[in-house]
Structure 1
């Protein structure tokens, strides 16, 4: 799976192609992978793409997308979506009976297993079991864990780690319950070194890595827009988050320079 290679040679490759060609399997075929959590997501994503391409070529299809279920910790989400943008994270907590910490028992992690399903199957198409502590959020149109509370301002069930997130009025964002607001960085975070933290973070305005919203060049080039220190930083309203601010999108669309913001106009 990491190098898309069959050690059985051409005979094994033929068996695989034959499997892809089986008519009765076409409508039920999917890729399900539960790899070691230390693996490189780029390698596995490359294999998934190649399998999908081989499936289309073998069956003379054009753009048929195979359903994919990828079992991985929630904190690797950015790496997976960077390689496979169509993948979404399900709130189902994948528990392992033979793992020392990745389960929902008394000796497991505080917020339960951090392992989730990543899939390109629409999350609204399957409902998670209510007898295991899941509910259906009609605002998000998907099943979530009972501890995942919907935020009307962020317009989402924001929790990723199994804890109930809280909404910070200052940065106007849902954050983990153990996060505290840092005035120097202008956002909530764990205890950190501000200089190093700001080099690792992604700005919520321009979506570029290496700075926070307070130091974003957005403010330098769009001087007519006043920076707000509560609610949405662009318009000051508390009814939406920065990414969904209409004034932010208008400003970026009308005055983006050197194409720098061209890739975030629809973000």
Structure 2
């Protein structure tokens, strides 16, 4: 699943390709329930490989149907890697999981696991007896106690609770969040804000985006400018006898060696 490798060799790979070549979109669907700690980017890479192998055999222009069970708070990364996928509102419960199940010992707001699919949401009917209804505006099934937001033009709830629209943030937020004029965003009431200070990106230092959206995030961590400048300053004799930095210690020599 994570490396698209066939441990049984060429015979297994041949059986895989033969299976894909004899199936149509009505006969096949890729169903995945991977470990929630797995890297989304790696799983997406495997899905793309399978999609490419299947499309080469069918040549009908359609995309391989996918059912991917994963927590809703990773929706950003899933949709970013596979834009054709859409998250459904159905809560997936596990009988053998400590928290992701119904009952008094389950998660406070129910299971966070959702179904991501590239099939039309209107074609996947959720059971009415489990508390779901059809939203004509969204053309999908949603929890019965969730109202459609006309400002966002969507049923915006992620965890199953009724979200409320914040006009200042121009989006729907959780009911436990309130708007903070200092941060100019909504957060928990007891959250200590940064008094309007923008943290920005931890990778490049720019203030217009966060670390997760930084284009330099995947750059190799070699030949860092900061490390070079530190090495030059030390070599220029900036350290005096009164300095608290002990350049004769083995620990410091090890750090200098790494910088070079």
Q: TM-score, normalised by structure 2?
A: 0.72
Q: Map 1:168-247 onto structure 2 (within 5 A).
A: 168-190=166-188, 191-194=191-194, 198-199=198-199, 209-210=209-210
Q: Residues 133 and 10 (structure 1 numbering): CA distance in 2 closer, same or farther, change over 3 Å?
A: same
Are the counterparts in 2 of residues 199 and 209 from structure 1 also a CA contact under 8 Å? Answer: no
Per the alignment, do residues 82 and 200 of structure 1 end up closer, same or farther by CA in structure 2, a change over 3 Å counting? farther
User: Matched residues in 2 for 1:75 and 1:200: separation?
Assistant: 21
Is the CA contact (8 Å cut-off) linking 1:20 and 1:26 kept in structure 2?
A: no
- SS of structure 1 residue aligned to 2:50: helix
**Bigger radius of gyration among the two:** 2
Would the alpha carbon gap of residues 187 and 90 (structure 1) be closer, same or farther in structure 2, given more than 3 Å must change?
Answer: same
> Structure 1 runs of 4+ off > 6 angstroms?
none
Counterparts of 1:106 and 1:197 in 2: how far apart (Å)?
41
Match of 2:108 among 86, 107, 110: 110
Q: 1:147 to 1:193 in 2, by over 3 A?
A: same
Aligned to 1:28: 27
Distance, in Å, in 1 between the alignment partners of 2:200 and 2:106 is 30
Displacement after TM superposition at 1:107 (Å): 1.5
Shift in CA distance, 194/123, structure 1 to aligned 2, threshold 3 Å: farther
* Matching residue of 1:56: 55
| CA deviation string 1:77-102 (max 9, x = no partner) | 01111211111100000000111111
* Aligned counterpart for 1:132 among listed residues 130, 133, 142: 130
CA contact (8 A) 1:198 1:210 kept: no
Shift in Å, 1:164: 1.2
Query: What SS does the aligned partner of 1:100 have?
Result: coil
**In the alignment, what sits opposite 1:11?**
11
Q: Which stretches in structure 1 are left out of the alignment for 5+ residues?
A: 202-207, 212-267
The 8 Å contact of residues 183 and 193 in structure 2, kept in 1 or not, is answered as: no
